[in-house]
A = this chain, B = another copy of it.
Amino acid sequence: MRFEQPLELASGARLAGYELRYETYGTLNAARDDAVLICHALNASHHVAGRYTGQPEQVGWWDNMVGPGRPVDTRRFFVIGVNNLGSCFGSTGPMSIDPATGRHYGASFPVVTVEDWVNAQAGLADRLGIERFAAVMGGSLGAMQALSWTIQYPRRIAHCVAIATTPRLSAQNIAFNEVARTAIRSDPDFHGGDYYSRGVVPKSGLRVARMIGHITYLSDDDMAEKFGRSLRTPDYAFGFGAEFEVESYLRHQGDKFSEYFDANTYLLITRALDYFDPARAYGGDLVQALAPAQAHFLLVSFTTDWRFSPARAREIVEALVVNGRQVVYAEIDAPHGHDAFLLNEPRYHRAVAAYFDNIAAELAG
């Protein structure tokens, strides 16, 4: 969907006009109060659930969570997935043509924040005639957007469902992002971000970035369980090939990612992660930052998530409780680290399903 109204960004820059690619599932009811917005994290898109005709492999990134009979049941809710600004799956981003120059935005695409994305999503909601979401939901960076909705548009969100998230990145989180960005920026095919017109892609940098990411998405135990020290060769080969299964796995993940993801988008989205810190405007006081929120909350964390550990989710829960908000918090004992939010962990899915049952009951009542 095309927006011609300029968007003022947190940086002070302005996007004159932009496209937001979105997808919907189910039907908006007559009261227009059963809409659920699903926000994506680093590498996902508007394609949340289901498959496109003729593309059986392109399954939605949260298909186990959203769909008919799923925890977020599209027979009961009208679900919207939207690709964020700066991303590379159809919404305006660095790969798009800047109408002012007739060339790719490239490095000139402005740095966008979680708050900017929420503003753009609110514009989309306006156009779709949705005054108030039954829920805004996301995992990881997606959950930051859901949280930010409760602060930026407290009257437009009934429920916030925030999975595997944190009120702000730690120094270690930022450090991992910075290493990934350094790998991308130092790839000679990056050309300062203006690689599109040169017909090259900084694949080596993207590959390294994704490999680093993957290590932080899995838990140490999970990697031990999945790969251990298993070799793909009968014995040590005394070389630098992919001898250990874990090396082969990471190389494969890196290769796959470098085929479809945009390097400038990687920089932009990790920066949005770094910058997210609603308490910053209040001297670090998360209670004050969350004071405007009116929504009800479901927060979920996973015990082996060392990227955004349960302690970080509890920080949000405590700030909400101090503000008198209604909060359900589930800390799920799951072995899969940060990635658990995308996996079919039964207790986690049951908790989300039960929460959405209650939302449906509220709407029916």
Contact = CB atoms under 8 A, between A and B. Distances in A.
Given A175-B246, A244-B274, A182 B170 contact: no
A175 B185 CA distance: 22
A210 to B, nearest CB: 10
For this chain, the copies found in one complex come to 2
A171 B228 contact: yes
Interface in A121-156: none
B179 A238 contact: no
Contacts of A247: 174-175, 178
Nearest to A247: B178
Interface in A234-290: 236, 238-240, 242, 244-247, 250-251, 254, 267, 271, 274-275, 277, 280
Contacts of A242: 178
Contacts of A246: 171, 174-175, 178
Contact of A208 (B10, B12, B183): B183
A238 B110 contact: yes
A176 interface: yes
A178 B277 CA distance: 32
Contacts of A11: 236, 238
Interface in A161-219: 168-172, 174-176, 178-179, 181-183, 185-188, 204, 207-208, 211-212, 214-215, 218
Contact of A215 (B175, B224, B267): B175
B238 A175 contact: no
Contacts of A172: 215, 218, 220, 223-224
A111 B238 contact: yes
Nearest to A225: B171
A220 B238 CA distance: 33
A227 to B, nearest CB: 4
A51 interface: no
Interface magnitude class on chain A: 35 or more
Interface of A: 10-13, 110-111, 168-172, 174-176, 178-179, 181-183, 185-188, 204, 207-208, 211-212, 214-215, 218, 220, 223-224, 226-229, 236, 238-240, 242, 244-247, 250-251, 254, 267, 271, 274-275, 277, 280, 306
21 contacts: A170-B223, A171-B227, A171-B228, A171-B244, A171-B245, A172-B215, A172-B220, A172-B223, A174-B229, A175-B211, A178-B246, A179-B208, A181-B240, A182-B211, A182-B251, A182-B254, A185-B240, A186-B207, A188-B188, A229-B277, A229-B280
